[in-house]
A and B are shown apart, each in its own frame.
Chain A
Amino acid sequence: MAARGFLSLAQASEASLIIASQARDQGAFGELVKRRQGWARALLRRMCNNHAEADDLAQEAFIKAWDNIRNLENPAAFPGWFRRIAVTTFLMAKRRQKAVFEVIDDASPLASEESTPEAAASAKIDLEKALANLSDAERLCVTLNHGEGLSHSEIVDMTGLPLGTVKSHVLRGTDKLRRLLDAAA
């Protein structure tokens, strides 16, 4: 508690909460979870396409974060650090389920017709519904690329997939999303 050094957890900066969590302050970590849970659960829900499983994985990821938060040297790096934990947790769960991420599904060829951004913009975007039509690997790569703003090489570093595979998954996944969203429009 001494490490907290502020009166209200709700008013504390994220860096202060992280430093207090590193001193094993459960209240500070609870506040950190409260602030970050929306982002973490959304990230995992997009990757999993299953709300219950995503929440279980998010819980697992937060507990791993609690166990290892002392290893986090720079509090400002928390989002990237936690994202890596979440993605690793997701990949481990998929490995337990024997999911294959490296095989590129050529049965779903790229769309030949060009769609306009305007058409997609006018559509009511149901992102979750569209993401559900992607393979696990495409969903993972598209979420990390478009949702989290990671470059291809950062996705390679985080997932361990080959660069060519990541590029293909992002390209195909994005194209599938465009077709699905155009169709919805």
Chain B
Amino acid sequence: MTEFNALLKRAFAEAHEPADDGFSLRIGRAVARRESAIGARAVIYAIGLGVAGVAVFMGVFPLLWGFGQDFLNSGGLEVARAQGAFNSEAPALTSSVSEQAQSWMQSISAGLMGQMLLIAAALAGGAVAYRASQD
């Protein structure tokens, strides 16, 4: 059996197929087509991403624009108030610097509450999305 197995191995080894140039050419063409298709897909993907990015930007920009204006208005108003409070003459006897600062902080908090909540929500949302992407 061992000798027969050796004979079989020799027979297998001697029975290789002759090279066929047509076969190599077909593979070459198939590989070239495949690479072209991959290149075309990459271009389509890049264009799609660009279009999606522009669409998202166009959708988000008006929101950011409105929010930004609101934020700047409120901030400016609070700065003006604080400046007025510090520049006012003869503060009351009970009013110390720390009370004025506290009053200013409360005023800022009340004026910018909406914006601060929005920023906190955006940060929390971002953190959740980041965590989800890491998982």
Contact = CB atoms under 8 A, between A and B. Distances in A.
Interface string B1-29: 10111011101110111111101101110
Given A34-B19, A37-B17, A147-B12, A63 B7 contact: no
B70 interface: no
Contacts of A26: 28, 31-32, 35
* Chain B binding surface, main DSSP class: helix
A59 B26 contact: yes
**A: interface residue count bin:** 35 or more
B5 A146 contact: yes
B81 interface: no
B23 A59 contact: yes
Interface string A43-70: 0011000000001001100110011000
B41 interface: no
A81 interface: no
A30 B28 contact: yes
Given A26-B32, A45-B17, A33 B8 contact: no
A178 interface: yes
Contact of A38 (B4, B8, B16): B16
B24 A30 contact: yes
- Residue among B16, B27, B34 facing the most chain A CB atoms (10 A cut-off): B27
A42 B23 CA distance: 13
A39 interface: yes
Interface in A130-185: 142-143, 146-147, 149, 174, 177-178
Given A38-B19, A63-B31, A127-B15, A149 B24 contact: no
B122 interface: no
B4 A63 contact: no
B120 to A, nearest CB: 45
B119 interface: no
A146 B6 CA distance: 8
Interface residues of B, number: 27
B8 A59 contact: no
Contact of B27 (A46, A59, A121): A59
Nearest to A130: B11
A66 B31 contact: yes
B8 A177 contact: yes
Contacts of A128: 15
A24 interface: yes
B30 interface: yes
Interface-central residue, B1, B8, B21, by most chain A CB under 10 Å: B8
A29 interface: yes
A26 B30 CA distance: 11
A66 B33 CA distance: 12
Interface of A: 24, 26, 29-30, 33-34, 37-39, 41-42, 45-46, 55, 58-59, 62-63, 66-67, 115, 117, 120-121, 125, 127-128, 142-143, 146-147, 149, 174, 177-178
